[in-house]
Structure 1
């Protein structure tokens, strides 16, 4: 029953639960006591199931699944934090460039207004392509 995954709620697939389900004192499963060979056989089968990738304890399967999910979420969070850092750096660089360009525009306007020999170019003419009549 336990090795098939039919573990009572709140219990684990272990010798303690095996003893409780058999209504036998747990100490009877250890050493040379009457059920020592059953404990050894139970643990051998349990180990074989675990090595085969099967788990008879639904809690253990849930724990394993949650550990994998947790690792994926940590990786996803790390990538998001890295992207956030890169975007913050990009934003700071863009703001610095805009500020420098703004200062240059102000400097050029002041130089133009001070009567230097900078001449403003006329606005470009737009050509209208018409049809021949």
Structure 2
């Protein structure tokens, strides 16, 4: 595999630095992230240049742009540590997680409210059934003649205005 010329390497490093600055400003391409893969794609260089290589004898050698990858990672971590959110998807994920927690709380509150209302309905139906049974018993007593009706009042009750 042929090695690149010093001029090409210098142009590539300038393109990588420009792409690095854009990504760290939050100017991400559609579908891209703030990572080495997107950095390589934005700079137009192969991603393999950012990683260490292995010689035929088994020894390691640095990739031609590995120092830039380390600089990018260092700057990215510093910005993240300072609280900067470069990838809008990370912010979206954080918002969705927060919303998910809020919705879970609302669902558990509603579940508890529904359980209370079901218990109230059960008690109310039981009371209505007991009252219905009592009314039926009283109607049977009235029909059997075991209960006498009171005579209707001859005059209007006190306080009725008459």
- The reply to whether TM is greater than 0.5 is yes
Alignment of 1:1-133 (within 5 A): 1-31=22-52, 32-116=62-146, 118-121=147-150, 125-129=157-161
Larger Cα-atom Rg: 2
Deviation at 1:119, TM superposition (A): 4.3
Q: Deviations over 1:112-131 (max 9, x none)?
A: 33232x4445668242458x
Q: Which shifted more, 105-114 or 19-28?
A: 105-114
**Aligned residues, how many?**
129
Give the unaligned 5+ runs of structure 1: none
Give the unaligned 5+ runs of structure 2: 1-21, 53-61
TM-score by length of 2: 0.69
TM-score by length of 1: 0.82
Q: Which shifted more, 76-85 or 53-62?
A: 76-85
Flag the 1:79–1:113 CA change in 2: closer, same or farther, 3 A. same
| In structure 2, C-alpha distance between the alignment counterparts of 1:47 and 1:122, rounded to whole Å | 94
Greater RCO, CA 8 A, separation 6+: 1
CA RMSD in angstroms, aligned pairs only: 2.1
